[in-house]
């Protein structure tokens, strides 16, 4: 987090000095809620952040009341000065070695502050932070996914729970959040194995004919240094069968690109298609790629990707 400038302090609050009223007042600019202390973190739109004092944030035992000092002062200053605060939330993740990941959840404002008795009977400070509207969902997405996995809620727009009928290790859900269509794909066979013709192609590599000690490969001109070249025009049809990639839509602003991959199997060349992320893709973001050109004339179709760089037509 410190590397990208979100939060560089070694503790849960980072602050800066703000000059005002003739004094240098520290004011909170970001907070990290670990999710393991007295903070209330279930609501994706707000956070109840517990103040500092004693050992509340780091241990179970609190020996005395919290006081309005230390890191509680910049939190109070952010409240009275109506200053924005970045919020990072820690959540448990069994796939991580340390069992936790941290999610940047956007800009919040501290709207209220109060005192109450903690579990040990001593006074603690509480700060309510409210997430500002019109921000991309972050922690809210994480909570929704966890609820779907635990069977507590149903994903909005769910049409078919598993298109692969158990063929994949993870369920391939069919979701429609665009219109009222509730039917899954008709006359479609989900396949997990490679289905295409195998082409016998000789590797196009020239042997080095340079004399020993005078090879031109040092200058990059040696024919032997050329890589294997496979010149094929690929036309892929997933009309009747395919896998999850068949349902990735075209976009003029893709977040995934495809690449043909040649693999040798028993002396023959097999062509595969690999998909690679072009950038970081947040959870539940639609995967989309550029379909490329179709053979023939008059094959152009109207593009409905709605991206800012939409060309209007594709294919």
Residue 135 has pLDDT above 70, yes or no: yes
Domain contains 4? no
Answer yes or no: pTM beyond 0.75.
no
Band of residue 110 on the pLDDT scale cut at 50, 70, 90: very high
Do 212 and 139 share a structural domain? no
Judged against a pLDDT cut of 70, whether residue 62 lies above it is answered with no
Which CATH number goes with the domain that contains 124? 2.30.280.10
Q: Which of 129, 146, 163 is the last residue of a domain?
A: 146
**Phi, psi dihedral angles at 147 (to 5 degrees):** -70, -40
HEC string for 64-125: CCCCCCCCHHHHHHHHHCCCEEEEEEEEECCCCCCCEEEEEEEEEEEEEEEEEECCCCCEEE
Residues 88 and 23 in one domain: yes
Task: Give the model confidence (pLDDT) of 199-210 as tens digits.
Answer: 555 554 444 555
| Count: domains in the chain | 2
Q: Is residue 176 part of a domain?
A: no
User: Of 3-7, 40-44, 157-161, which range is least confident?
Assistant: 3-7
Q: How far apart are CA 63 and CA 71, in angstroms?
A: 18
In-domain check, residue 8: no
Count CB-CB contacts under 10 A for residue 226.
10
More confident residue, 260 or 211: 260
Cα dihedral across residues 12, 16, 17, 19: positive or negative: negative
d(Cα 195, Cα 175) in Å, to the nearest integer?
A: 26
> Do both 129 and 199 map to the same domain?
no
pLDDT value of residue 198: 56
276 or 209, greater pLDDT: 276
Bridge partners for 18 per DSSP: 25
Query: What are the contacts of 187-190 at 24+ separation with CB within 8 A?
Result: 187/240, 188/240, 188/241, 188/242, 188/246, 189/240, 189/241, 190/163, 190/164, 190/165, 190/241, 190/242, 190/243
- SS3 (DSSP) at 201: coil
Q: Do 29 and 108 sit in the same domain of this protein?
A: yes
Position with higher pLDDT, 282 vs 83 = 83
From CA 275, how far away is CA 289, in angstroms rounded?
Answer: 9
Lowest mean pLDDT among 172-176, 233-237, 247-251: 233-237
* Model pLDDT, residue 225: 40
The 3-state DSSP class for residue 217 equals helix
Q: Is residue 315 part of a domain?
A: yes
31 and 125 both lie in a single domain = yes
- What is the domain extent for residue 282? 187-315
Q: Which residues contact 293 (CB under 8 A, 6 or more apart)?
A: 315
pLDDT bucket at 295, cuts 50 / 70 / 90: low
Do 92 and 196 share a structural domain? no
* Residue of 78, 68, 57 whose CA lies nearest to 15: 78
Asked whether 158 and 175 are in contact (CB, 8 A), the reply is: yes
CATH number, domain with residue 253? 2.170.270
pLDDT reported for residue 1: 57
Do 228 and 106 share a structural domain?
Answer: no
128 and 23 assigned to the same domain: yes
Return d(Cα 235, Cα 293) in angstroms, integer.
9
Among residues 113, 146, 179, the one where a domain terminates is: 146
- The half-sphere exposure of 231 on its side-chain side, counting CA atoms within 13 A, is 1
Mean pLDDT of 108-135: 91
Does 23 fall in a domain? yes
pLDDT tens for residues 152-209?
Answer: 788 888 888 888 888 888 888 888 887 888 887 777 788 887 666 555 555 544 445 5
């Amino acid at each position: 987090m410190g590397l990208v400038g979100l939060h560089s302090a070694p503790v849960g609050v980072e602050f800066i000095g703000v000059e005002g009223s003739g004094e240098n007042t520290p004011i909170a600019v970001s907070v990290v809620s670990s999710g393991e202390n007295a903070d209330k973190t279930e609501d994706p739109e707000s956070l109840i952040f517990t103040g500092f004092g004693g050992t509340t944030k780091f241990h179970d035992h609190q020996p005395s009341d919290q006081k309005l000092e230390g890191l509680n002062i910049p939190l109070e200053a952010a409240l009275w000065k109506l200053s924005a605060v970045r919020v990072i939330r820690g959540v448990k993740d069994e796939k991580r070695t340390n069992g936790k990941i941290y999610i940047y959840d956007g800009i919040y404002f501290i709207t209220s502050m109060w005192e109450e008795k903690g579990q040990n009977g001593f006074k603690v400070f509480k700060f309510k932070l409210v997430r500002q509207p019109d921000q991309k969902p972050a922690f809210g997405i994480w909570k929704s996914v966890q609820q779907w996995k635990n069977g507590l809620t149903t994903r909005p727009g769910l049409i078919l729970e598993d298109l692969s009928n158990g063929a994949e290790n993870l369920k391939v859900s069919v979701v429609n959040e665009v219109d009222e269509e509730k039917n899954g794909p008709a006359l479609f066979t989900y396949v997990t194995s490679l289905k295409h013709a195998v082409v016998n192609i000789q590797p196009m590599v020239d042997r080095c004919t340079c004399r020993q000690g005078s090879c031109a490969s040092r200058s990059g001109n040696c024919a032997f240094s050329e890589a294997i070249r496979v010149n094929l025009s690929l036309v892929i049809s997933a009309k009747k069968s395919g896998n999850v990639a068949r349902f990735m839509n075209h976009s003029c602003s893709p977040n995934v690109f495809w690449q043909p991959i040649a693999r040798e199997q028993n002396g023959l060349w097999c062509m595969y298609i690999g998909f690679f992320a072009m950038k970081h893709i947040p959870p539940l973001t639609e995967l989309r790629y550029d379909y490329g050109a179709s053979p023939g004339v008059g094959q152009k179709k109207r593009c409905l990707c709605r991206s800012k760089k939409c060309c209007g037509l594709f294919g």
